[in-house]
Amino acid sequence: MNINTLNILADAISDVGSWHWWLTRGDMVQVQFCDIMLYDENTSENEPHSTDVLAVRFCGNTFAVFLDNLNEVDWYKRFFDDDSVIYPIDTYYMAFDDKKEAERLLDDYKHKTVIKDFSGSETLLTAKHLLYAGCDDVGFIVGGDKIEVLGRKGKYTEEEIETAYKKWWDYWKTYWKLRGTKDAYPKDYVCEVSIPVSAE
């Protein structure tokens, strides 16, 4: 995926979204998010159209380190097992392929738990792709050779991500234009959090 698409994806996730789950299997690392600013074509008219769940998967030479300032040693295991736990992403504190900022993130947290094949700056230097995020008292850096983005409908292409992002913002504008009228859309948490500066 090109960096423009990856930047769009990071914004779509990190504006309102939360870290929702994680998975490692073989040479694959996946982080999953909820409340995404991508338009979901597959929901009915009576449902919100923001994407509820989205996963970013890395394959090939993968690595993962989880970061925290918590007193709970095994928080990430509980997080894996309990789907009611989410960690809201600090607004826009997420990016793909920014190695310098990823290294700075490492210094922001007291504890570093290597989940898969991570050896600090050396790993970041040689990584083909990476994704980092800060979520208040926790964070992560994951990466690998190849990036895949998956939703309930399957894999997203670059074009689908960019189109869904643009369409979400059109949807958001109409959502607020019609809000409080008889034609109002079903309540959508992601739209509600993203409040317009003015009613115009």
Kindly report the pTM of this predicted structure. Answer: 0.94
Residue (of 33, 75, 85) closest to 54 by Cα position? 33
Given a cut of 70, the residues of the chain with pLDDT beneath it are: 198-200
Which pLDDT tens digit goes with each residue over 163-195? 999 999 999 999 999 999 999 999 999 999 998
- The single residue listed with the structure tokens 């159209």 is 49
pLDDT of residue 48: 95
149 token code pair: 């983005």
pLDDT at position 153 is: 85
Give the per-residue pLDDT at 150.
97
The predicted structure's pLDDT at residue 92: 83
pLDDT value of residue 82: 93
Task: Tell me which residue has tokens 């338009």.
Answer: 39
What's the pLDDT at 198? 62
